[in-house]
Chains A and B, each alone.
Chain A
Amino acid sequence: MKGYDVQIENVSRAYGSFKALDDVSIDIKKGEFFSLLGPSGCGKTTLLRIIAGFDSPDTGILLFDGKEILSQPPEKRHVNTVFQSYALFPHLTVYENVAFPLRLKKIDKNLIDSKVREYLHLVQLDSHIHKKPGKLSGGQKQRVAIARALINEPSVLLLDEPLSALDAKLRQNLLVELDHLHDQIGITFIYVTHDQSEALSVSDRIAVMNQGKVLQVGTPYEIYESPATDFVARFIGETNLFEATVVNCDPYEDYFMTTLDIPALNSLVKVTDYDNLEKGQRVSFTVRPEKLKITGERPNKVGKDINLFHGIVEEPIYSGFQSKYYVLLENSTVIKVIQQHANYMDEGPEIDWKDSVFVSWSAEDGYIVEVVDS
C-alpha cells in the first residue's frame, strides 16, 4: 500500500479564545514530501496531531484518499509519527522499541525478528540494538524513532521537527537520508520544521504558516522567488523588503514595467511584474540580497531597467564561499548584499569596511508582494 492523498479542509482549532489553527486548507498529494514551515507556536504540531488523531478540530474536515477520517482513532489511521521529542519508550531497548508495534499484533516471533533487523539496518543502527534510549545520541534516537514509525508500513509518515535537536552537519546528513528513504518507500511524508533551508532542500511542496494560518502553499522555488506575503518573503531566506507606492505601470514586452516610489530609498525603483497594478496602490517590494551587484566603481553603462544606488559598506561579513555586506545608502537605509566568491582571491574580497560602493539590480530581479488593503 502506497501513500494517501491527505486533504485538510477549513480546519480550525482554538484553545480557549486562542486560535491555534485558523481555517487551514491544504491538499497533499499521494507520495509527496510535503513540509509545514513556520515559526515556533504557529500551529504546526497542532495540525500534525489532528492528522494523527490525537486531537480533533473544532470545525473542518480531514480526508485520506477522499475518505473522511476524523471519526477514526489514531491506531486505525495508517499514519505513524516521528515525534518532536522522539517519544522512545525509556524502559525498552532499541530493538524492543522498534518491535513494539509488531508485538502488539501478535505476529510470529521470527518474522518480527527479521523485520526489526531489516528496519534497524535501514537506519544504520545494527550495532546499537540492545542499548536503552537513554544511552543513545540525539541522531541515533531520531533513527530509532524513524524505524519504529516505519515498521508498521504506514501510508502517511508525520515528522515533527525530527532534526531540530541535532547539529548542523548531522542534520544535513540525516536530511539527505530522509529524502532517500522517501524516494525508496514512496509514501506521503508530512514534515514539520521551522528551518526554512531544511524545507527548501527536500520538499516537493511547502506550506508556510504563521499564527495558525496558511499563508502560501507552493514549490520551494515558488515560495522563495514569489512570496505571497511580507511574512513569507522575510521568513524564507534573507531579503530586502520595502514599503512602496505604485507610480505607474506600463506594458513592456510581455509583462508590465512598474515604477515604484520607495520612501525608504528616497527614490523610484523599476520592477517588472506580470500584474497590471493600479496607480497609487500600496505594495511591498522585495529583492533578495544575492541578486544585488556590488562594485567599487560606478558601472559605466547603466541600462534603463537597472536600479542603482550609492552607499558605504557598514559591515562586511566574510563566510568563505560568499560575503555579506550591510550597505548604508545615502538616505541612511541599510540594504543587504550577498556576493558569491566564484574565483580564487589572493588577498581576500576587494570590498572592505567603509568602502564607497555602488549597489545595483535589474528590474527583473525585484518582486512585488501585493499588500492586501485591510
Chain B
Amino acid sequence: MSSLDPSFLIKAPTHPVGVYKVSKNQVFKDHRRFGFSNIVLVLTILFLFTPLIVVITYSFNSSKGMMWTGFSLKWYAALLFDSEELWRAFLNSFIIAISSSAVATVLASLAAVGIKWYSFKGRQFIQTLSFLPMVLPEVIIGISMLIFFTAIKLPLGMFSIFIAHTTFNLPFVFLLVSARLDEFDFTILEAARDLGASERQTLMKVIVPSIMPGVMSGLLMSITMSLEDFVITFFVSGPGSTTLPLYVYSMIRYGVSPVINALSFVLILSIILLAFALRRFLKVIAASS
C-alpha cells in the first residue's frame, strides 16, 4: 500500500472548509435591547435569589432574631466546631448518595441496554412500569416503602434508606441512558466487528464509551436527588440514620437556628463550585460525543 500514488488527489478540495461558520452570538447581538424579555429575566432572578440573599445576610448576624445587630462569624464557628450531629447527618447523606446512585446507575444502565438490545416478552410493559416511580407522588412511595419494610421486618435505618433511594433513582438513570441509546447507531457495532474487534472489544471500546455521557449524567442526577430527598427518607429512616435534610428539618422545629443559615451559605458556595467543576466535566464529555 505504501506505493500508492495519491497524485490524482492533488486538486482543489471538493468540500470548502469553514464556510458555514458563523460567529456564535452574531445573530442575536443586534436584537439585545432592554425589552419585555429582560424585565422578565430580572424579575425571575430576583424571585429566585432574594430568599437566598436574605438567608446569607442573616448568617452573618450577631443575634438570633430577625433584627440586624451587627456582623459576626459566630454561627460559622458553631457550624464548624459545635455541630457534631449535623456533620454526622451530612456523612450519612453522603454515604447514601454515593452508594445508592452508584448502584442505581449500574442497574438502570444495564436495564436500558437490555431493553434496547434484546427483545423479550413483557419488554414494553417493563419499560412503561419503570417510569411509575417518577410520576407517583413521593409521599405514596414513602408510605408504601415503609409498609413494605415493616412487612418484611427490615429494620429501618441506613440500609432501608439506601434501598429507597436506589429505587427512586432507577427510573431517572434509566431514562437518561435510554435517551442516549435511542441515538445509538447500531451499525457501529457491526462496523466494529467488521474492522476486526471481538465481542468483548466491541463492548469495551465502542459501546461503553459511547453511552458514557448518558451514564455520567444519570449518576450525577441521582447523587443530587439522593442528597436532597426529604419526603421518602422521612418515612424509611430509623434511629441513627438521620440524613442532612431530616436533621435540618428537626432543627427548624425548635426555631430557626442561624447555624442553618450558615450551613445554607456553605452549601450554596460548595454547590456553585461543584456546578462549575461539573460544567467543565460535562463539556469534556460533550466534546467527546
- Footprint of B on A, CB under 8 Å? 49, 52, 54, 73-75, 79-81, 83-85, 87-91, 100-101, 104-105, 118, 121-124, 127, 132, 134, 137, 139-140, 148-149, 152-153, 170, 173-174, 177, 180, 184-185
A127 touches B17 (CB 8 A): yes
A100 touches B195 (CB 8 A): yes
Question: B4-12, B108-116, B133-141: which lies at the A interface?
Answer: B4-12
State A180–B5 Cα separation when bound (angstroms): 10
A184 touches B195 (CB 8 A): no
State A50–B196 Cα separation when bound (angstroms): 16
A238 to nearest B CB, angstroms? 28
Partner of B191, one of A49, A83, A174: A83
B196 touches A101 (CB 8 A): yes
Contacts of B287 in A (CB 8 A): 132
Partner of A180, one of B8, B17, B195: B8
B185 touches A74 (CB 8 A): no
State A292–B5 Cα separation when bound (angstroms): 44
A153 touches B188 (CB 8 A): no
Nearest opposing residue in chain B for A179, CB measure: B8
Chain B, range 256-280, C-beta contacts under 8 Å to A = none
A54 touches B190 (CB 8 A): yes
B39 to nearest A CB, angstroms? 38
State A148–B192 Cα separation when bound (angstroms): 11
Contacts of B212 in A (CB 8 A): 91
A104 touches B201 (CB 8 A): yes
Contact A170 to B15, CB < 8 A, known contacts A74-B194, A104-B201:
yes
B1 touches A91 (CB 8 A): no
B210 interfacial by beta-carbon distance below 8 Å = yes
Q: How many positions in chain B have a CB within 8 Å of any CB in the partner chain?
A: 32
Chain B, range 144-200, C-beta contacts under 8 Å to A = 185, 187-188, 190-198
Partner of B195, one of A122, A152, A170: A152
Nearest 9 CB-CB pairings of A with B:
A87-B191, A101-B195, A87-B187, A173-B14, A91-B209, A75-B196, A74-B193, A87-B188, A91-B210
Q: Which of B8, B188, B194, B210 has the most CB of A within 10 A?
A: B194
Contacts of A54 in B (CB 8 A): 190, 193-194
Contact A89 to B14, CB < 8 A, known contacts A105-B196, A132-B287, A185-B4:
no
A91 touches B289 (CB 8 A): yes
Partner of A184, one of B5, B201, B206: B5
Nearest opposing residue in chain B for A76, CB measure: B196
Nearest opposing residue in chain B for A136, CB measure: B15
Contacts of A140 in B (CB 8 A): 15
Partner of A90, one of B15, B201, B210: B210
Contacts of A87 in B (CB 8 A): 185, 187-188, 190-191
State A184–B5 Cα separation when bound (angstroms): 8
State A140–B16 Cα separation when bound (angstroms): 11
B13 interfacial by beta-carbon distance below 8 Å = yes
30 contacts between A and B (CB under 8 A): A52-B194, A54-B190, A54-B193, A54-B194, A74-B190, A75-B193, A75-B195, A75-B197, A81-B194, A87-B191, A88-B188, A89-B192, A89-B210, A90-B188, A100-B195, A100-B197, A104-B195, A105-B196, A118-B1, A121-B6, A124-B9, A132-B287, A132-B288, A148-B195, A149-B194, A170-B15, A177-B8, A184-B4, A184-B5, A185-B1
Nearest opposing residue in chain A for B20, CB measure: A137
State A104–B196 Cα separation when bound (angstroms): 7
Nearest opposing residue in chain A for B212, CB measure: A91
B19 to nearest A CB, angstroms? 10
Chain B, range 1-60, C-beta contacts under 8 Å to A = 1-2, 4-6, 8-9, 13-15, 17
Contacts of B191 in A (CB 8 A): 81, 83, 87-89
B15 to nearest A CB, angstroms? 5
Contact A83 to B190, CB < 8 A, known contacts A89-B206, A104-B195, A122-B4:
yes
Contacts of A184 in B (CB 8 A): 4-5
Contacts of B187 in A (CB 8 A): 83-85, 87
Contacts of A105 in B (CB 8 A): 196
Nearest opposing residue in chain B for A150, CB measure: B1
A139 touches B289 (CB 8 A): no
Partner of A85, one of B5, B8, B185, B201: B185
Q: Which of B2, B5, B191, B209 has the most CB of A within 10 A?
A: B191
